[in-house]
Amino acid sequence: MNIKTLDTYCGNVFDRVLDKAYQEAASPDTEVRFTFNGCEIQIRADSPRPLILRDFRRTMSGYNKEPVGPYPPLALTAEQEASDKAIKAENDQRWAEQRKQREEEQERKQWALESEIQGMEMAISSPDAWQKMTNANRDSYGNAILHYAESWA
């Protein structure tokens, strides 16, 4: 078996690297190995691409710790499915907590900013032009732009 190593770099797109690996593994006695975002992948000319993609996604989600390929099983075992489900639940909970923390931090920053600028008046250099713009932008999008301008002026 001829084993080739494919170098990957920051900014590479996975599908393009996978295409290159299949090209390099064109002969039956060649296996191409590469690492992409910490996932070790082994490709042969007849490796089933959909299963390689499935297991790559599983690895990126934290479900799989083993190298991917060259011949992933057609179906996951009941144990793997149960493990994937448990890890997904953990991921979902962690992401929900992180999202809540980000939203709370954003709300704190928003309140701090609003407290700091409360009572300040926006200086308008052309009141007539501002009034025309206000009258012309009563829809939700235009109104949001004006509100943003008033908030930061």
Of 11, 22, 8, the C-alpha closest to 69 is 22
In this prediction, residues 49-69 reach a mean pLDDT of 96
Of 32, 43, 34, 24, the C-alpha closest to 4 is 32
pLDDT of residue 115: 86
Taking the chain, what is the end-to-end CA distance rounded to the nearest angstrom?
68
The residue ranking higher by pLDDT, 141 or 114, is: 141
CA 103 – CA 64 distance, rounded (Å): 31
Q: Which helix (H) or strand (E) holds 35?
A: strand 30-36
pLDDT tens, residue by residue, 21-48? 999 999 889 999 999 999 999 999 999 9
pLDDT of residue 153: 64
CA 146 – CA 58 distance, rounded (Å): 45
